[in-house]
């Protein structure tokens, strides 16, 4: 089972030759998820060798063009290439009309089922859950309604301790309970504590995506102890006023969220086209939180 993120676009509102608008491809325990879909995402998908027909969940954070103008083109190409597997899109309420309208005028009604689920901008919300992963959204603070996303591996099973099990009276019928951490009462009435016959499971990993947002200190609780946090850093502290005015964050502010949330690692992205290098972003973030890097288009990050 793998858990990794491929950065398809790391730029901000105005695309540059080096940074496409926002899009990320996440594979978590064989679930394939696209987060945001700026213009040109389908070209980036091809460029970086992503097998895009595997995507079954698309999460759209908000309706600024650099986060969704590539969606209808991607869906059209999925249709033209013969997709029949359904896809679910999670995002703001207006998104469904925008997508369906454009597909309909072109006569490109997809053969596959297209479902839309509206995200709440008032409170955290579980969007999808199965035995392998859970996807949820949470409100951010931007000029228009915007959410972040959290992708978690489901809690893993405890590992059986085969040595301890020998001669314990416990058999295969009891294993599901034990793996789930539940104690077992034998027919004799004796209690066998799960903790005595199992080891702790491997840790469950998680990835949080926060773009775009003004500095929002309460985010630290929402993303608490995630393995990897992606947080926008459109500006550096030199442009702190501009960040505030446009409801964006600086690299320092992103690092504060990472530090206070005790996350494993921090990724910075959504850099404004005004910065030619990443040194200043990196330097000011590192002063607050050392495990940080600035993402680039095409970068692949292992979460687990």
Q: Which of 101, 132, 186, 195 binds a copy of itself (CB under 8 A)?
A: 101
The distance between the two most distant Cα atoms of the chain, rounded to a whole number of Å, is: 73
CB of 66 to a copy of itself, least distance (A): 8
The residue ranges of DSSP E strands in the chain, in sequence order, are 3-9, 23-28, 31-37, 57-59, 87-91, 114-118, 125-129, 133-139, 147-153, 159-160, 184-185, 191-192, 198-199, 206-210, 228-232, 265-269, 292-294, 300-302
Q: Which one among 96, 108, 118, 260 touches a copy of itself, defined by CB under 8 A?
A: 108
What own/partner pairs with CB < 8 Å and gap ≥ 24 does 96-99 have?
A: 98/63, 98/72, 99/71, 99/72, 99/75
Between CA 275 and CA 248 the distance in angstroms is 15
Of 174-233, binders to a copy of itself (CB under 8 A) are none
Selected from 84, 94, 130, 279, the binder of a copy of itself by CB under 8 A is: 94
User: Which residue number, 111 or 190, has a Cβ lying nearer to a copy of itself?
Assistant: 111
What's the rounded Cα separation, in Å, for the pair 184 and 3? 33
Instruction: Name the residues annotated as catalytic.
Output: 66
| Stretch touching a copy of itself by CB under 8 A, among 23-31, 77-85, 175-183, 210-218 | 77-85
Pick the closer one to a copy of itself by CB: 232 or 284: 232
Does 102 bind a copy of itself (CB under 8 A)? Our answer is: yes
Query: Is 80 among the residues that bind a copy of itself (CB under 8 A)?
Result: yes
Cα 20 to the center of its chain, rounded Å: 18
CA-based radius of gyration for the chain: 22
Q: In terms of CB distance, is 13 or 233 closer to a copy of itself?
A: 13
Q: Candidates 48, 63, 96, 181: give the one binding a copy of itself (CB under 8 A).
A: 63
77 makes contact with a copy of itself (CB under 8 A): yes
Tell whether residue 49 is a contact of a copy of itself (CB under 8 A): no
Judged by the rule CB under 8 A, the positions of this chain that interact with a copy of itself are: 13-17, 20, 39-40, 42-43, 46-47, 63-66, 69-70, 72-73, 76-77, 80-81, 92, 94, 97-98, 101-102, 105-108, 143-144
């Amino acid at each position: 089972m793998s858990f990794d993120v491929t950065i398809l676009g790391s730029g901000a509102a105005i695309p540059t030759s080096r940074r496409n608008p926002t899009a990320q491809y996440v594979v978590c325990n064989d679930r394939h998820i696209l987060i945001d879909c700026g213009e040109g995402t389908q070209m980036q998908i091809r460029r970086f060798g992503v097998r895009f027909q595997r995507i079954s969940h698309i999460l759209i954070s908000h309706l600024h063009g650099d986060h969704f103008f590539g969606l209808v083109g991607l869906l059209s190409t999925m249709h033209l290439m013969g997709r029949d597997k359904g896809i679910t899109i999670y995002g703001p309420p207006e998104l469904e009309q925008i997508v369906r309208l454009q597909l309909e005028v072109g006569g490109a009604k997809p053969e596959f089922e297209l479902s839309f689920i509206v995200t709440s901008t008032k409170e955290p919300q579980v969007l999808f859950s199965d035995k392998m992963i859970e996807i949820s959204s949470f409100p951010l603070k931007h000029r228009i309604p915007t959410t972040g996303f959290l992708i978690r591996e489901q809690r893993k099973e405890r590992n059986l301790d085969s040595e301890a099990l020998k001669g314990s009276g416990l058999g295969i019928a009891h294993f599901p309970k034990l793996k789930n951490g539940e104690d077992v009462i034998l027919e004799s009435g004796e209690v066998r504590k799960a903790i005595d016959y199992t080891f702790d499971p491997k840790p469950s990993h998680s990835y949080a995506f926060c773009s775009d947002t003004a500095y929002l200190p309460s985010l630290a609780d929402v993303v608490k102890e995630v393995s990897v946090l992606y947080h926008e850093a459109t500006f550096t502290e030199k442009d702190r006023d501009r960040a505030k005015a446009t409801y964006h964050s600086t690299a320092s502010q992103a690092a504060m969220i990472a530090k206070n949330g005790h996350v494993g690692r921090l990724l910075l992205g959504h850099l404004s086209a005004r910065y030619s290098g990443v040194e200043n972003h990196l330097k000011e973030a590192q002063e607050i939180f050392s495990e940080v890097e600035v993402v680039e288009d095409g970068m692949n990050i292992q979460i687990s």
